[in-house]
Amino acid sequence: MTKAKSPARIFCVANQKGGVGKTTTAINLAAALAALKQRVLLIDLDPQGNATMGSGVDKNQVDNNLYQVLIGQVTLADACVKSESGGYDVLPSNRELSGAEIDLVQMDDREKQLKMALKAIEFDYDFILIDCPPTLSLLTLNGLAAAHGVIIPMQCEYFALEGLSDLVNTVKRVHRNINNDLELIGLLRVMFDTRVTLQQQVSQQIQAHFKDKVFETIIPRNVRLAEAPSHGMPGIVYDRNSRGAKAYIAFGKELMKRIKQQGAAA
């Protein structure tokens, strides 16, 4: 594998609310960036293993998974497998990972194990995406400690805003105490239905409050995105002409543009 000149940009896809579209976003963004000729690693930080399965990798058939990496049994490179359908690498997970919390608690630098494991491969990729579980647990903390930024997918529903402040505060605390590099990259509106007035209202509220931290791209509710995981494919590969696929490609481009602009401003 050719080495990059600069280390990978590492982003967590996080929201402690369940079922808001984290994994769908992580998988499709990974595939979109890969389609844009970027070298991508998708890390499945959720014991549910949905990002693994949705990338066409059988979570119960892999030799190693993130659990063995976090407890130092294997190197990260040894645990990575290829998503043939997505064109990116996957660090798989399965139920075993739920045991990691207990092992980690007993370790020094327990929130930095993922960050340390990533050091060895950071020049092998352009982007590393981390699909977080729906918790603010020690696993999620390992993700936030290792990342440069957080992407928050959210549905434009009334209660969506409630949990958001907890997450934004967690990001600020991690930034202050553990990882100075961490920043909120942006909020991504997902599963959006333009016909629903309430969604439009909440969307406007989000924009008014978070301003340029809201991505311009909006991901529509689209059944093709929901069907894709059962075929072991990212939605953008399963039906690249679907509205959902086009939106995630646009999101990949928007993210790359944002990073370029930030780089130029720095």
Interface with ligand ATP (CB under 6 A), residue from 18, 72, 99, 263 = 18
**23 is a site residue for Mg ion (CB under 5 A):** yes
Q: Which is nearer to ligand ATP, 7 or 101 (CB)?
A: 101
Residue 232's SS3 state is: coil
Q: Taking contact as CB under 5 A, which single stretch among the options 45-53, 93-101, 218-226, 242-250 is the one that binds Mg ion?
A: 45-53
Print burial letters for 232-254: b (CB count within 10 Å at least 16), e (below 16).
bbbbbbbbeebebbbbbbbbbee
Q: Which of 147, 185, 191, 202 binds ligand ATP (CB under 6 A)?
A: 191
Establish if 22 lies at the interface with Mg ion (CB under 5 A). yes
Instruction: Select from 7, 98, 112, 134 the one that contacts ligand ATP (CB under 6 A).
Output: 134
Is the Cα torsion angle 206, 209, 213, 216 positive or negative in sign?
positive
Residue 19 near ligand ATP by CB under 6 A: yes
Q: Which is nearer to ligand ATP, 121 or 167 (CB)?
A: 167
Report, in angstroms and rounded to the nearest whole number, the Rg of the chain calculated over CA atoms. 17
Cβ distance to ligand ATP smaller for residue 78 or 216: 216
Q: Is 12 left (phi over 0), alpha (psi -120 to 50) or beta?
A: beta
Measured from the CB atom, is 48 or 64 closer to Mg ion?
48
Pairing between β-strand 149-155 and β-strand 214-220 as defined by DSSP bridges:
unpaired
| Residue placing its CB nearer to ligand ATP in the complex, 86 or 244 | 244
Q: How many helices (H) and strands (E) does the chain have?
A: 12, 8
Residues touching Mg ion: how many (CB under 5 A)?
Answer: 3
Host H or E run for residue 137: none
> By rule CB under 6 A, what count of residues binds ligand ATP?
19
Residue whose structure tokens are 């690249």: 240
Residues that bind Mg ion (CB under 5 A): 22-23, 50
